[in-house]
Structure 1
């Protein structure tokens, strides 16, 4: 690995300071936060401003905010993101940690479509495949995605007369009961499905957000009932939340998720 260039490192340190606070900084702020010489900060700020990485705040002489160039770079990065590929990478990491089957899914209408999947190495495991479509209300990923919709949109997709199929005897088929259940999911930030799509499997799921804070997918961990317990549910809920946060970060999300 080559040597890090100090001037470049300092310039990037300055840019990353704008991620916190109100998004504006003065040269003295930068000197204080990074403990750099004033002359060095002045030179770096002048260079960054000349290249449109930062610009002066109108009406506030000496204060700077991010310029157009970081936005252009971020937009180009976002254009190159592949949710399925990034999801597969994160699902693999989560599966290696818990040795259970991990899925990433998106919502289409009132169904979910699995776009990434990594299997458990256990002999007894959930059998599924990327590309499979299931009714959202019967799955943890689907519940998480439905719960994350704006209330009006959720009501439109799940009217009182919605015909909700039952995949098992545990599936929720009453739209009113489902909407009440989804409110609990929304509050907790974790969805649990207990033998609702498969009588021998339970799952937990967490929301995946993009750089605009919009929920674009959900990540779940599926476990055969022979390995399921309240303690295991709590453990896997934490792992699912961490995996979803990792995937969100790969998609450019930053900050609070609620």
Structure 2
């Protein structure tokens, strides 16, 4: 009898543990799905109905409706219009503002981009990796009438960008190939950039300390990118200029000096202290 009671107690405890683990797993899946909804709205950049969201992310409508209602109650998303469409809420803006106030890279980059745009009259950007893609994080448009059609936060294939050659320069060849989807080596014009060629460009950009080229995405522009390094000597961001092609080629050296100077200053503030920081100042004339 005593043995039977022990077995029952053991099975009861095991059942309680399994039930608790199941609850935790369901909550984790729900949290993952909630972030998936928010990210989908961010990428679509327009209000959507819950059933459109469910279709877009391939999720059951019932769970999406439940999560949408929860996010609305928390102020994370809001209704837009009278037809049930929802979009990102003001609370996210407040959360983002609090993040920006405390994150030195964002604050310092905003000041630098304003200065770079003023000195060059071109559009200045700060860019980073977003998962296995590239994204513009901050942008300051230049004073000239020429405008760049770039959406902040829009994911772009890494091989399509000048910054992409720098943002992966701390990775091994194998890590780069594992990160970038094979289809991202197909350029907008349909031609394929060989991964080996891309990796060679990455290694050369690391050695040079910058990368410039005529834009693959926009045939009228020339792109400049310079790395921003953290205390571990990892390129965590790039400072960039996007200029009309002819102006970019004509002012190439001057634009690079401005970018290298700014990136060197920002890298030092983030704790980057080695001979490369000094070489960046020397190259910029500092």
Q: Does 1:228 align with 2:248?
A: yes
For the residues of structure 1 that align with 2:171 and 2:276, how far apart are their CA atoms? 14
Deviations 1:73-102 (A, max 9, x none): xxxxxx943422221121111111111111
SS of residue paired to 2:202? helix
Greater Cα shift, 96-105 or 180-189: 180-189
8 Å Cα contact 2:227-2:263 kept in structure 1? yes
Q: Which position in structure 2 is the counterpart of 1:121?
A: 143
Higher gyration radius (CA): 2
**Superposition deviation, residue 232 in structure 1:** 1.5
Match status 1:240 vs 2:264: no
* Structure with more helix by fraction: 2
* Greater relative contact order (CA < 8 Å, ≥ 6 in sequence): 1
Cα distance change, pair 194–244 in 1 and its aligned pair in 2 (3 A) = same
Instruction: Return the alpha-carbon distance in structure 1 between the equivalents of residues 146 and 221 of structure 2.
Output: 10
The TM-score, its normalising length taken from structure 1, stands at: 0.61
CA distance in 2, matches of 1:146, 1:172: 19
**Structure 1 unpaired stretches of 5+:** 1-78
2:163 is the counterpart of 1:164:
no
- The answer to whether structure 1 residue 178 and structure 2 residue 178 are counterparts is no
Query: Any conservation in 2 of the 1:168–1:198 contact (CA below 8 Å)?
Result: no
Seen in structure 2, the aligned counterparts of structure 1 residues 81 and 137 have a Cα distance that, compared at 3 Å, is same
Instruction: Tell me which residue corresponds to 2:217.
Output: 197
TM-score (norm. length: structure 2): 0.56
Q: 3-state DSSP class of the match of 1:173? A: coil
**Mapped pair 1:218 → 2:238:** yes
The secondary structure found in structure 1 opposite 2:185 is coil
Please report how far the alpha carbon of residue 252 of structure 1 lies from its aligned counterpart in structure 2 after TM superposition.
2.9
Which residue is 2:154 aligned to? Answer: 132
- Give the Cα separation in 1 of the matches to 2:189 and 2:146: 20
The number of aligned residues is: 177
Structure 2 residue matching 1:113: 3-state secondary structure: strand
